[in-house]
Chains A and B, each alone.
Chain A
Amino acid sequence: MKTLKELEAIRQKTLNELNLRKNREDGIRVVVGLATCGIAAGARPVMAAFVDEVNKRQLTNVTVSQTGCIGLCRLEPIVEVYLPGQEKVTYCKVTPDQVGRIVSEHIVNGNPVMEYTIGNFE
């Protein structure tokens, strides 16, 4: 038999899992370029690292999704981060071990990791 407390625990846990089905105005979006060029440059592990990191920190307002080729194939893997009400920030040549910093500094604290952004590559 489940008590009210246990039900609440199930609710929280499942809600985390269902989060991406909800339309949220306050949502943060991480978009990884996953066209042929992105995949060849190693975008899949980057994507996986984002999904992992977001789940570990229980960031329920963050969705990680994929997009096609942005047209800057030489700079792949490319990751775009959209914070509500702000310009998007584009990261280039992202590797899985950079993901932790992007999540903690940018997504959690709101400070883009400038040294990984596109400005440093152009």
Chain B
Amino acid sequence: MIYRSHVLVCAGTGCTSSNSLRIIENFHKKLEETGYDKEVQVIRTGCFGLCAAGPIVVVYPEGVYYSHVKPEDVEEIVNEHIIKGRPVQRLIYKEHDESGVNTTLNDSDFYKKQHRIALRNCGMIDPENIDEYIAFDGYKALGKVLTEMTRDEVIDTVIRSGLRGRGGGGFPTGLKWKFAKAPESDVKYVCCNADEGDPGAFMDRSVLEGDPHSVLEAMTIAGYAIGAQQGYIYVRAEYPIAVKRLRVAIGQAREYGLLGDNIMDTGFKFDIDLRLGSGAFVCGEETALLASIEGGRGEPRPRPPFPAVKGLFGKPTLLNNVETYANICQIILNGPEWFASMGTEKSKGTKVFALGGKINNTGLVEIPMGTTLREVIYEIGGGIPNGKKFKAAQTGGPSGGCIPAQHLDVPIDYDNLISIGSMMGSGGMIVMDEDNCMVNIAKFFLEFTVDESCGKCPPCRIGTRRMLEMLEKITSGKGEPGDIEKLEKLAYNIKAAALCGLGQTAPNPVLSTIRYFRDEYEAHIYEKRCPAGVCKALLQYTIDPEKCRGCSLCARKCPAGAISGEIKKPFVIDPAKCIKCGACMEACKFGAISKK
């Protein structure tokens, strides 16, 4: 059925949580009422990337890009735009610097610098309609592989593309495929890591929600290349929309014979099933993940043997990340040279980042490797809210480190990030400004790893807890000289002795904040001061007697009865009673109260 106009409504997790399903419903209702439902099609898509501006609605053929749409706005969009051809100006997406209005998606600063390969179909197609995937060259790569390429040619293509694992480690994907093909075995497995445990990361979720078939197709190609007939996707149960769309996609692919026996009449057999994870971070680690699929406890085991030799159920197993797979079909179709032409010498192609924290355009961005942090933050990300100063960006989540302002111009790739003490990780990028305390940030990540440590090995189980205790001591004003050195020593020991990647990388956030912000640690320890004004125990609220008018409002607001004074004379705060809640500061009309 051909329509004259398509209304695309985002049904990613972000927009769904701000009511985009109601928007879709209202469009259907309103179009039917006005008799336009035969001319205008409403399509539910995956994430567009600019979740901060959601819910997102895009109207084609004009490509008009609406942001912050509410269910009650639908009536106006239909009456004005759909019926009379007048885009609703007040809802059109606007740039943060007020540089103007961009009517279409591709013209916005957020999209201009991006290069979408893994996210190519997200926000373009209906993820629950296999035909739309097929229309944009879906299952063409699988056809090519099954009818024109040998298994070695497929692997060679992936090797020559230079693709490296997007799950964090950055291991060359083609090489991994080669290792998994090598052993002779009648049973092998292809697995997909969709556990995505980094706090703040949602790249993989968006791919699965917006373009699930791209992962199914790539896994099938991998199955052909290494000689496997069964695939598993390990996806966390906290991703209900992704799980649902994967189920729909697997059902459709089976119906079309793109999974199952005799795929495309070539005699090749492959099927995929889902396994739901319960959200333990360590289950993202490959050996723990495989143990969890087998139905065991999600605990890592020492390597070697590597999964390529002895993996799931003791059989040779290939495990790749969602985003890694999302690149495969494009590499097959466009050739390895095309892919290798993007990026830096040792990091090819693009990388998806989940931008979060103190940044205007919170959302998903896919950029060529080698883009600088400055471009990501100031051009694509729209800069830092309220004119605040950039302090650092954390990449690699709890395994990574922070990148301070002096490295804003370093081209982002695997090796550069490691050399400046952080890592690519899976793509979480949290931006911090002058109001963030770096000791506190390190503490936050360590709290996470202490919680998530599986407990199997002592360096991780006990060591990270001791580190956390030291950080708690420092942030509560009880730090002593020598603490920094002790932290560093323990950190290096844990890194050297832990069993799996979780423990080996857990000290990184502490080490990298010490490396770049040692002065903040020192201020906490020696001066009992938190320069960013975050650590409560180190704060002092004081009333400036010059500015205080003696109105007594603060004293009445104080829940601890810590403020006293006489009307019309300056009031004072008793530091012994003050619980540092900040209520007085908020209440004061004269700006007389400050915290230091």
A: residues with CB less than 8 A from B are: 1-4, 7, 10-11, 13-18, 20-21, 23, 29, 31-36, 39, 47-48, 51, 55, 63-69
Contact = CB atoms under 8 A, between A and B. Distances in A.
A21 B2 contact: no
B5 A65 contact: yes
B313 interface: no
A66 B257 contact: no
Contacts, number: 101
A63 B62 CA distance: 9
Nearest to A64: B4
Contact of A18 (B82, B132, B262): B132
A10 B129 CA distance: 12
Which interface residue of B2, B125, B256, B264 has the most chain A CB atoms within 10 A? Answer: B2
B39 A65 contact: no
A3 B257 CA distance: 8
Contacts of A3: 264-265
B594 interface: no
Contact of B131 (A10, A35, A48, A67): A10
Contacts of B3: 17, 20
A17 B2 contact: yes
A39 B86 CA distance: 14
Contact of A17 (B1, B8, B63, B106): B1
Contacts of A67: 85-86
A7 B144 CA distance: 12
Contact of A48 (B39, B106, B256): B39
Contacts of A69: 84
15 contacts: A2-B264, A7-B139, A11-B134, A11-B135, A13-B131, A20-B3, A21-B61, A34-B84, A36-B84, A51-B39, A64-B4, A65-B5, A65-B85, A67-B85, A68-B86
A20 B5 contact: yes
A67 to B, nearest CB: 4
Given A7-B143, A23-B106, A47-B4, A68 B85 contact: yes
Given A1-B256, A4-B264, A21-B60, A14 B135 contact: yes
Closest 3 CB pairs of A and B: A1-B257, A66-B85, A14-B135
A46 B4 CA distance: 13
Contacts of B265: 1, 3-4
Contacts of A2: 256-258, 264
B465 interface: no
A102 B84 CA distance: 22
A20 B40 CA distance: 12
Contacts of B260: 1
